[in-house]
Homo-oligomer: A and B are copies of this chain.
Amino acid sequence: MKRAARRSKRRKPHFRRRTKAGASPGTVVAHPDAPRPVIRVIAYSATEYVEQEVADLSKLPEYLRRFPVTWINVDGLGDTQVIQQIGELFGIHALALEDVVNAHQRAKVDDYEDQLFIVARMMHNFGSFETEQLSIFLGERYLLTFQERQGDCLDPVRERIRKSSGKIRRMKSDYLAYAMVDAVIDSYFPLAEHVGDDLDRLEDEMTSHYDPGLAHGIHIVRNELMLLRRTLRPHREAVNQLVRDDHPLISDDTRVFLRDCYDHTVQLIDLMEAYRETCVDLRDFHISLVSQRMNEIMKVLTLIATIFMPLSFITGLYGMNFNDKLPGNMPELNIPYAYVGVLVLMLSVALGLLLYFRRKRWIGDSAPPDPHDQADDDR
């Protein structure tokens, strides 16, 4: 139950109104509790590589000049001024900047001619179902990313840049953007596996023994699935838009990789749909298990009542106090061995009823010889 409570807290879907109700659209107001931004630059060419934390924004243009690709990563959205300065520096549209700060957007791609604004949502901690918004601005020579807080799923990308593994250092910023989106999508696979394991365990428990708590378990998994699907679905659309639209910032080479990433997204969503169907199926199965259990319980009750009610009636009959001295009043009481006779009568009533129930298959069919197994072995 503890787990249920913990999880259902996370169920709350991420969404909130505009920065401040009634504010002009495009107003950027940092959330008071958000951590202050930390800016980190990774700039590289096929041969050179620099990684540095940057405090002074005025140094950024130099990186952009010197390197073919500069990745500026901003962790934390807690300083309105800094965010707005960056926005001005890179010529970001006010609405896009507002979406960065209101980190409750669905995944999407917005095209601002000289810039692509990509929103993705990544899973923050392994095993948790919280998501964090990753806002990506893709320009000719730079990639600007905003995250809600430190810690992300992009370390493999950083590692590949550092080690110059694969072709990442030889490609332009569009490939870096692809690498990030791909890393985000990849971060969902362990979660999907997790949900799949939960479903397997639920199914195993369901077939092994009756447990009324399973309804709750199914309910929790359904909630998790719903959250995953809701978060993932817009990614499919967004990645597809990147593959399909002929934007000059995205080269054909990168497009092939994005197509691969799209395949992964489709595979994930496909899997989510399959899990959802499994959930519905498990729910149906559980419902029928519950009714069968009910049937079992009622059968026991009915068996007991049906056998003992007639017997009790007989005992009651001979417990009546009619004056057996008078004629016609319970002469049986005074017949020798009548008691034995009554006992035999009761025994045969009980046996007769048991036979009747067995004939109606009420007894003994809780563990019938499974015809499936046989049919299966014959093959």
Q: How many residues of A contact B (CB 8 A)?
A: 147
- Contact of A310 with B by CB under 8 A: yes
**CB-contact partner of A17 in B15, B186, B211, B219, under 8 A:** B186
Q: 8 Å CB contacts to B: which residues of A268-320?
A: 270-271, 274, 277-278, 281-302, 304-306, 308-313, 315-320
Per assembly, the copies of the chain total: 5
- A246 at interface by CB-CB < 8 Å: no
A95 at the B interface (CB under 8 A): yes
| Binary flags per residue of A309-344, CB closer than 8 Å to B gives 1, else 0 | 111110111111111101111101111111110100
A105 at the interface (CB under 8 A from B): yes
- Chain B residues contacting A352 (CB-CB under 8 Å) are none
Q: Summarize A's interface: helix, strand, loop or mixed.
A: helix
What residues of B have a CB within 8 angstroms of the CB of A368 in the complex? 211, 213
Contacting chain B: which of A3-11, A78-86, A136-144?
A3-11
Determine if A5 and B211 form an interchain contact, defined as CB atoms under 8 angstroms apart: no
Report the bound CA distance from A12 to B271 in whole Å: 11
Asked whether A321 and B320 contact (CB < 8 A) given A24-B168, A287-B291, A339-B330, the answer is: yes
A370, CB-defined interface residue at 8 Å: yes
Would you call A295 and B24 a contact (CB within 8 A)? no
Q: Are A274 and B13 in contact (CB under 8 A)?
A: yes
Instruction: Compute how far the CA of A290 lies from the CA of B368 in the bound complex, rounded to whole angstroms.
Output: 17
User: Roughly how many angstroms separate A15 CA and B105 CA in the complex, as a whole number?
Assistant: 28
A301 and B300 contacting across the interface, CB-CB below 8 Å: no
Tell me how far the C-beta of A133 lies from the nearest C-beta in chain B, rounded to whole angstroms: 13
CB 8 Å contact bits of A147-191 with B (1 = contact, 0 = none): 000000001110110000111100000000001001100100110
Q: Which residues of B contact A11 (CB under 8 A)?
A: 200, 203
CA distance A155 to B23 in the complex (A): 11
Residue pair B209, A361 in contact (C-beta under 8 Å): yes
> Known: A207-B4, A328-B339. Contact between A108 and B317, CB under 8 A?
no
A251 within 8 A of B: no
Q: By the criterion CB–CB under 8 Å, are B196 and A270 in contact?
A: no
Instruction: Name the contact of A207 in the complex, choosing from B8, B106, B200, B322 (C-beta under 8 A).
Output: B8
